[in-house]
Structure 1
Amino acid sequence: MSDAEPILHMITPLKNTSPFDVNMGVDAGFKTIATYQEVGLKDVVGLTQDAMFSRSPNDAKRTVLFIGGKDASLALDQMAAAASALFPPFEISIFADPSGAFTTAAAMIAQVEKRLRGKREGGLEGARVQVYGATGIIGGIAAVIAAQAGAKVTIVSHLVIEDVEAKAVDFKKRFGVKLDCAVARDDAEKTALVKNADVILTCASAGVEVISADVLKAADNLLVAADINAVPPNGVAGVDSNADGVALPHGVGIGALTIGQVKYQVQHQILKRIRNSDTALQISFLEAFELARQLSE
């Protein structure tokens, strides 16, 4: 192993680097962290090459590029751009987790899988999953992870169906997953929709109740409802932030802090793994999901 000091370079297209991510980097053992704001896609290759070539080939692997922001597609594009600049022996590690969305979505689906054990043979395979707030960064990636795990996923808009259709087209091109689309603007439309749900994921804005008690009663086939909103009112009626399998009229509920505890462990362990690795790693939501699964066993 190289004796060189690990360096964490954090890039974001936003005006500010996330203090959450900086804290996570420090807690994972990084003593040297550099931040870069308003980084566009065209800037990534140059920054990556600067990080690569400034150290000897043996020490390059002690350099880590963290990709933040609030746009999943842009973060994935930036990760691809950074990866395209790498070649042996000048290879650095890359970890994309914009707004913590990749690790949060990974934790959410892993916790749903955990609660499906013993309730549904095959787990997520063939399960009917509805994602509310799917135009957001966490909801969209949660939908992709669930679809890749074999679920039949419907992404739901609260305004117009075109919003989720655009997301479905993008993710089909990127990941080859098929996402059905629906719109549910009020409780009447939600009531009709949830009757066909085995799993409900709510990933809407903080403080917004997406699934009311009346809508929840209509979800006759529901096995698991998971919510990432920690600000009251929570996204699903009866599912508070600490819910960890709370009984609902149908199925059980998982709250934001239960998901968040796994998310924190996933991001922390990934950062530690990268910091201590003898080889350059590339980590996105797929690797985060595998770790979340292990932590949820």
Structure 2
Amino acid sequence: MTHTDTPDTFTLGSRRVKRMGYGAMQLAGPGVFGAPKDRHAALSVLREAVERGVNHIDTSDFYGPHITNQIIREALHPYPDDLTIVTKIGAQRDAQGGWLPDLSPEGLTRAVHDNLRNLRLEVLEVVNLRIMFDVHGPAEGSIEAPLAALAGLQQQGLVKHIGLSNVTPTQVKEAQSVTKIACVQNLYNIAQRQDDPLIDELAREGIAFVPFFPLGGFTPLQSSALADVAARLEATPMQVALAWLLRRSPNILLIPGTSSVAHLRENLAASQLVLPDDALNALNAIGAKGQ
């Protein structure tokens, strides 16, 4: 049922992962802060994801903080051999849940050790360096210093592969002059497509692109074209938006998040949704119009 142009897997570091993964951000409390209202439901979602073949989970120790990783450990440890857990560092939380940049060598070192401890791992498979020059989006500036600190932790054997998050194309190039980059995680979805050229460049280089807020994040996608296609295909608009991302480029890995088993199943079903060419053309026009 999967479209021939849509491969099921792609390389992430030294692993081959299924392109439909899971993002753990929503397993913490409101605002990604504090404990979830239903810890049992959070554990159930993770176990269901893995049972249904998900082998790429995206997390961070600043979700909660610490809580999301502890829930992952409780739900899934000892981990399946093929499970790739990707984390990110570069920020911390204040007492009210605010997001603070923390790109110092000391902060990055502490974050790696926090992730190792809370996930109960001896080495982190992929660590994304979350650049925080601007909390709300990528901003230019050299990332060589924090990247060098993370590369040092990689040389110590604590980190296998390094990725980047919230970065500009210029910063990706700078990073590649320092170390090998396994993936880039930026804001991207059917309506917000400023990274189109970067995605194509990374695809040529065999590097994964992982869109965060694939469904719009805190301002969910609203589009009459999306709704029309969804109605015609008897799918939800969110399923269509995820299916479009899988068709957009073979190096895109998805990590939609949810704290609901029913919603998880709905997200995973999007990988089986076939988009006819006319539907694809209508969807492609959304980003062009900024609908």
TM-score for the superposition, normalised by structure 2 = 0.32
Bigger radius of gyration: 1
